[in-house]
Amino acid sequence: MLSISNLHASVEDKPILKGLSLEIPAGEVHAILGPNGAGKSTLSYVLTGREGYEVTQGGATLDGEDLLALDPSERAARGVFLSFQYPLEIPGVPALTFIRTALNAQRKARGEAELSAPEFLKLAREKAQSLKIDFDMLKRPLNVGFSGGEKKRMEILQMAILSPRFLILDETDSGLDIDALKIVADGVNALRGPDRAMLVITHYQRLLDYIRPDRVHVLADGRIAASGGPELALELEREGYDKYARAA
């Protein structure tokens, strides 16, 4: 599904990713842990095409297609979704309008029929309910004045409605209370399937208790410093990143 090879990327001429390689086959969930500033969010932005994140070497493909040649909206239409570490506020655009516009833009790009207003409302209501989001909140401008946790939930709602194929969760657990974490994890797990894959960026084992990863990677100093099974996350929880910081 997603294949990253020897990826080098810079921000403002400062190298951040320094030869990162990673394979995430369809049907799998991979977790990435790593110290602050290691380049985890940078990786998520490079994969989604944010301006200012310059790829200097290497590449990334999704189902064999060169991901880096596409603009962010084209990547979204191919099914790439990023749950932002810090979701943006969109003043003046009700959440419902925003999500519906996004969904229909994606469908149009894929040559699918757009969803009618009633069809969309039905879908949005259903997903909001399963994530225990008050539907009235969706009438407010997206994320404006929402609490940190509400913004994270709103990311997962968008994910549930857009139904992407490749999901990147960048610290979706931070800012969530214990109940919300459980609800969000259920929402994410509902999207697991043989045709989908996920990259879960987190600092805490707790999220991985709910979203069980197939593989765990340590990202340190711009590259994958270690990979293993779920037990690697437990080990990191006990021992920290010291070992990898020294190696780097």
Ligand X SMILES: Nc1ncnc2c1ncn2[C@@H]1O[C@H](COP(=O)(O)OP(=O)(O)OP(=O)(O)O)[C@@H](O)[C@H]1O
Decide if 131 contacts 183 (C-beta within 8 A): yes
Name 116's Cβ contacts closer than 8 Å, sequence gap at least 6. Answer: none
User: Which region among 8-16, 73-81, 126-134, 180-188 touches another protein (by CB under 8 A)?
Assistant: 73-81
Tell me the closest approach of the beta carbon of residue 73 to another protein, in angstroms: 5
Helix spans in the chain (H): 40-48, 72-77, 95-109, 117-130, 148-162, 178-189, 205-210, 231-239, 242-247
* Residue 18 partner contact from another protein, Mg ion, ligand X, none using kind-dependent CB cut-offs of 5 to 8 Å: none
Beta bridge partners of 102: none
- Phi, psi dihedral angles at 130 (to 5 degrees): -65, -25
Q: Which residue is nearest to Mg ion (CB)?
A: 41
| Cα 98 from Cα 91, distance rounded (Å) | 11
Decide if 171 contacts 147 (C-beta within 8 A): no
b/e map 91-120, b = 16+ CB within 10 Å: eebbbbebbbeebbebeeeeeeeebeeeeb
DSSP at 112: P
Residue 231 sits in the site that holds ligand X (CB under 6 A): no
* Residue 58 partner contact from ligand X, Mg ion, another protein, none using kind-dependent CB cut-offs of 5 to 8 Å: none
Residue 83 sits in the site that holds ligand X (CB under 6 A): no
Residue 12 sits in the site that holds ligand X (CB under 6 A): yes
| Cα 74 from Cα 34, distance rounded (Å) | 29
| Cα 173 from Cα 185, distance rounded (Å) | 9
- Cβ of 167: how many Cβ atoms within 10 Å? 24
Q: Which amino acid, one-letter code, is at 52?
A: G
* Residue 109 partner contact from ligand X, Mg ion, another protein, none using kind-dependent CB cut-offs of 5 to 8 Å: another protein
User: Which region among 35-43, 68-76, 132-140, 223-231 touches another protein (by CB under 8 A)?
Assistant: 68-76
| Cα 154 from Cα 198, distance rounded (Å) | 18
Q: Which of 1, 32, 33, 76 binds another protein (CB under 8 A)?
A: 76
* Residue 84 partner contact from another protein, Mg ion, ligand X, none using kind-dependent CB cut-offs of 5 to 8 Å: another protein
Residue number with CB closer to another protein (92 or 194): 92
Q: Which of 88, 136, 178, 194 binds another protein (CB under 8 A)?
A: 88
Q: Which of 103, 138, 198, 207 binds another protein (CB under 8 A)?
A: 103
Residue number with CB closer to ligand X (99 or 207): 207
Restricting to residues 36-75, which ones interact with ligand X according to CB under 6 A? 36-42
| Residues contributing to the site for Mg ion (CB under 5 A) | 40-41, 85
User: Which residues of the chain form contacts with another protein (CB under 8 A)?
Assistant: 48-51, 71-73, 75-77, 81-82, 84, 87-93, 98-99, 101-103, 105-106, 109, 141, 158, 162
